[in-house]
Copies of this chain bind each other. A is one copy, B any other.
Amino acid sequence: MTDAPLSLRERKKRATKAALSEAALRLAADHGVEHVTVEAISHAVGVSPRTFFNYFDSRDDAFTMIDAEIAQRVRDAVEAAPPALSALDAVIEALADELAHVGARQDVWALRAEVLNRAPHLLARSLGAHMADELAMAAAIARRLGPPPDGAGEDGEGPGLYPHLLAAVAGTAVRVAIEHWSRHTGDEPIPAVFRRVCAHLAAGLPDPPTGA
């Protein structure tokens, strides 16, 4: 995510990639994942299979890698956020910006959940991608925070406890916000639900005054 508006070229690339994912999911919902081919997905979007492979390494990536680019943009935004922001606030702002776009594609996300739930190997693949994104996010947060003053991290391998926790909790916050919003769609835009979730987190999760 950058402050500059997206170039036309970048917009077109994102639109093509999104269309390929959506076509893959619709074909899978209609015919079953095992009957979906790269040729059929490409044909549905009006591009060649060669073009498909410019966007995805495999058929299965079209089902599962919708959010890999989003994760990369969020990481870049976290590292580029003003130094005055806490790491938590940097993560919240980056995610809220991306979530503004998710609302417009609720049907695709619902379709994806349906397809993944019926295809365990895709669910496992998606979970693996999510875990890789989480570690990459933890690394971005650790870079933003800088090394501890004594010159040595607490960890020989893997991210420190706080960066790992913040990355994981941010993912959980997004999931809870999306699930809540899916049940109450129309009431409140998704970034607003997400900011309510984050207000609970930033306050240290005290009992809510209303019990709800």
- A29 at the B interface (CB under 8 A): no
Given A147-B211, A153-B212, A207-B86, is A176 in contact with B158 using a C-beta cutoff of 8 Å? no
Task: Count chain B CB atoms within 10 A of each CB in A88, A172, A184 and give the residue with the most.
Answer: A172
Q: What CA separation (Å) do A208 and B148 show in the bound complex?
A: 9
Q: Is the CB of A88 within 8 A of B211?
A: no
- A186 at the B interface (CB under 8 A): no
Interface string of A178-212 (1 = CB under 8 A from B): 01100110000000010011001111111110111
B residues in contact with A165, CB < 8 Å: 172-173, 176, 197, 200-201, 205
A residues with a Cβ closer than 8 A to B are: 86-88, 117, 120-121, 123-125, 127, 142, 145-150, 153-158, 160-166, 168-169, 171-173, 175-176, 179-180, 183-184, 193, 196-197, 200-208, 210-212
